[in-house]
Amino acid sequence: MSKQYKSINDLPDWVKMITGGIAGSVAEAITIPIDTAKVRLQIQKPDANGKYRYHGLLHTTRQIYGEEGVSSLFKGLSAGIQRQLVFASIRIGLYEPTRDFFCGKDFKGDPPLSKKIYAGLATGGIGISIASPFDVIKVRFQVDGNLPADQRRYKNLTDAYIKIYKQDGLHGFWRGVTPNIIRNAVINCAELATFDHIKESLIKTGLFHEGLTCHFASSACAGFIAAVVGQPVDLIKTRVMNQNVGVLTVVSNIIKNEGVLNLYNGFSANAGRIITWNICMFVTLGQVRLYALNNFYKSPE
């Protein structure tokens, strides 16, 4: 190998993309039960007496498990993995190259927060524009698990692709793409820019170094901020994808029938999922990249 690399930050862009997809897929597999509970909380509506079926993350998870079995908690996992292999590869793998591009090739020192934000918004928006079909199918599978077996719309992934195409054409795979782009651009920015900035700040204190402890602390903070910022658009995106209606219709119905505060319906599940997802993803990402560096790109001593 003609070029040697000293740290995981020096790895080639294509390696960063592959490791991003791997880390995203691992995090998706671990947190899909929380995500399923979150979707159920977001799409539920009050009954005639104004009562909700699900109450909080743990209650929702227990009820799904008790009534439908453990398999329902993993509905949409295959589509979720497909989504991460595309989406995470782009948004995570290209974040650092994009950030450095915004800084300029002659820039020296630590990138400013503004450039990190620009990079997060750009890679998040571009990534989900490409991966949106997998998101649509994942959400619909998670919702279908709430229905009796004979009323479920799709038998498997192939059946879902065929039916969506027949019913809505190619446009159906990008149902809700506008709120989805906004949601994922915002959350990607909150996750990656926050993680990057907090990690950098922690290392500067001298109390942390590039490793598991630093990654764990930085990713937990990034996950919480992403949940707070992204919750409203996440709920809107979920309902648009499931109900086949427009953004304005969904927002109007929520405000009119449920109240503005309902935009944060299911927040505990969403926050729990995003924080856990971030910890799993960033820790896995660091370890996979370290493995790649030590085994394929490490400079000779």
Q: Residue 300 pLDDT more than 60?
A: no
Quick check: 13 and 94 in contact, CB under 8 A?
Answer: yes
Q: Compute CA distances 213 → 96, 216, 282, whole Å.
A: 21, 5, 11
Instruction: Give dist(CA 32, CA 15) in Å, integer.
Output: 25
Q: What phi and psi, each to the nearest 5 degrees, are found at residue 14?
A: -65, -30
Digit-coded pLDDT (tens) for 213-260: 999 999 999 999 998 888 888 778 778 777 767 788 888 888 888 887
Q: Which residues pair with 298 in a beta bridge?
A: 5
Instruction: Give dist(CA 65, CA 164) in Å, integer.
Output: 28
Read off the pTM. 0.80
Q: Compute CA distances 61 → 38, 58, 88, 92, whole Å.
A: 9, 5, 26, 29
Determine the pLDDT at residue 263.
Answer: 80
Sequence ranges of the domains in the chain: 176-265
Instruction: Give dist(CA 269, CA 57) in Å, integer.
Output: 5
Instruction: Give dist(CA 279, CA 285) in Å, integer.
Output: 10
